[in-house]
Chain A
Amino acid sequence: METVNIKINNIPMTVKKGLTILEAAREAKIEIPTLCYLKEINEIGACRICVVEVKGAKSLVASCVYPVADGMEIFTHTQKVLDARKINLELLLSNHHQDCLACVRNNNCELQKLCLELGVTNSQEFKGEKQNFEIDNSAKHMYRDNNKCILCRRCVAVCSKNQDVSVIGCNDRGFKTHVGCAFEKGLGDTACVSCGQCIVACPTGALSEKDHTDKVWEAISDETKHVIVQPAPSVRVTLGEEFGLPIGTDVTGKLAAVLRRLGFDKVYDTDFAADLTIVEEANELIERIKTGGVLPMITSCSPGWINYMEHFFPEFIPNVSTCKSPQQMFGAIAKTWYAEKNNIDPKDIVVVSVMPCTAKKYEVDREYQNAAGENIPDVDISITTRELARMIKKARISFESLPDEEFDKSLGISTGAATIFGATGGVMEAALRTAVETLTNNKLDKIDFEEVRGLKDIKKASYKIDNLEIRVAVASGLANARKLLELVKSGEEKFNFIEIMACPGGCINGGGQPIQPASVRNFTDIRQKRLDALYNQDKNTKIRRSHENPAVVKIYQEYLEKPGSHKAHEILHTKYKEKSPF
Chain B
Amino acid sequence: MAILFQGTKQQELELKEVIEKHKDQRGALMPVLQKAQEIYGYLPIEVQKMIATGLKIPLEEIYGVATFYSLFSLNPKGKYRISVCLGTACYVKGSGDIFDAISQKLGIKNGECTPDGKFSLEACRCIGACGLAPVMTINDDVHGRLTVNDIDKILSQY
Against A, the Cβ 8 Å flags (1 = close, 0 = not) of B17-38 are 0000000000000000000000
Of A166, A172, A173, which one neighbours B60 at CB under 8 angstroms?
A166
Is the CB of A139 closer than 8 A to any CB of chain B?
no
Is the CB of B120 closer than 8 A to any CB of chain A?
no
- Output the least CB separation between B53 and chain A (Å): 8
Against B, the Cβ 8 Å flags (1 = close, 0 = not) of A414-441 are 0000000000000000000000000000
Is the CB of A183 closer than 8 A to any CB of chain B?
yes
The CA-CA distance from A86 to B49 in the complex, in Å, is: 43
Of A160, A169, A173, which one neighbours B63 at CB under 8 angstroms?
A169
Is the CB of B140 closer than 8 A to any CB of chain A?
no
Majority secondary structure of chain B interface residues (helix, strand, loop or mixed) = helix
Within 8 A of A (CB), among B34-89: 45, 48-49, 52, 58-64, 67-68, 74
- CB pair B60–A167 under 8 Å, yes or no, is yes
- CB pair B67–A582 under 8 Å, yes or no, is no
With A171-B67, A172-B68, A173-B67 in contact, is A166–B61 under 8 Å at CB? yes
- Which residues of chain A are within 8 angstroms of B49 by Cβ–Cβ distance? 582
- Which residues of chain A are within 8 angstroms of B45 by Cβ–Cβ distance? 182-183
The CA-CA distance from A325 to B143 in the complex, in Å, is: 68
The CA-CA distance from A181 to B60 in the complex, in Å, is: 6
Majority secondary structure of chain A interface residues (helix, strand, loop or mixed) = loop
Closest to A177 in B: B68
- Output the least CB separation between A350 and chain B (Å): 38
Is the CB of A170 closer than 8 A to any CB of chain B?
yes
- CB pair A182–B60 under 8 Å, yes or no, is yes
The CA-CA distance from A18 to B81 in the complex, in Å, is: 56
- CB pair B48–A182 under 8 Å, yes or no, is yes
- CB pair A582–B64 under 8 Å, yes or no, is no
Interface centre among A172, A181, A582 (most CB of B within 10 A): A582
- CB pair B68–A183 under 8 Å, yes or no, is no
With A166-B58, A182-B60, A582-B59 in contact, is A172–B67 under 8 Å at CB? yes
Interface centre among B58, B59, B60, B68 (most CB of A within 10 A): B60
- Which residues of chain A are within 8 angstroms of B52 by Cβ–Cβ distance? 582
The CA-CA distance from A121 to B52 in the complex, in Å, is: 45
- CB pair A170–B64 under 8 Å, yes or no, is yes
With A182-B48, A183-B45 in contact, is A171–B58 under 8 Å at CB? no
- Which residues of chain A are within 8 angstroms of B59 by Cβ–Cβ distance? 182, 582
- Output the least CB separation between B99 and chain A (Å): 18
The CA-CA distance from A98 to B127 in the complex, in Å, is: 44
Is the CB of A168 closer than 8 A to any CB of chain B?
yes
- Which residues of chain B are within 8 angstroms of A173 by Cβ–Cβ distance? 67-68
- Which residues of chain B are within 8 angstroms of A160 by Cβ–Cβ distance? 58, 61
- Which residues of chain A are within 8 angstroms of B58 by Cβ–Cβ distance? 160, 166-167, 169
- Which residues of chain B are within 8 angstroms of A582 by Cβ–Cβ distance? 49, 52, 59
- CB pair B68–A169 under 8 Å, yes or no, is no
- Which residues of chain A are within 8 angstroms of B48 by Cβ–Cβ distance? 182-183
Closest to A168 in B: B60
The CA-CA distance from A295 to B23 in the complex, in Å, is: 33
- Which residues of chain A are within 8 angstroms of B60 by Cβ–Cβ distance? 166-169, 181-182, 190
Against B, the Cβ 8 Å flags (1 = close, 0 = not) of A549-582 are 0000000000000000000000000000000001
Closest to B53 in A: A581
Closest to A580 in B: B49
- Output the least CB separation between B68 and chain A (Å): 5
The CA-CA distance from A172 to B72 in the complex, in Å, is: 11
- CB pair A182–B68 under 8 Å, yes or no, is no
- Output the least CB separation between A154 and chain B (Å): 16
12 A-B pairs (CB sep. < 8 Å): A167-B58, A168-B60, A169-B58, A169-B60, A170-B68, A172-B67, A172-B68, A173-B68, A182-B62, A183-B48, A183-B74, A582-B49
* Partner-B contacts on A (CB < 8 A): 160, 166-173, 181-183, 190, 582
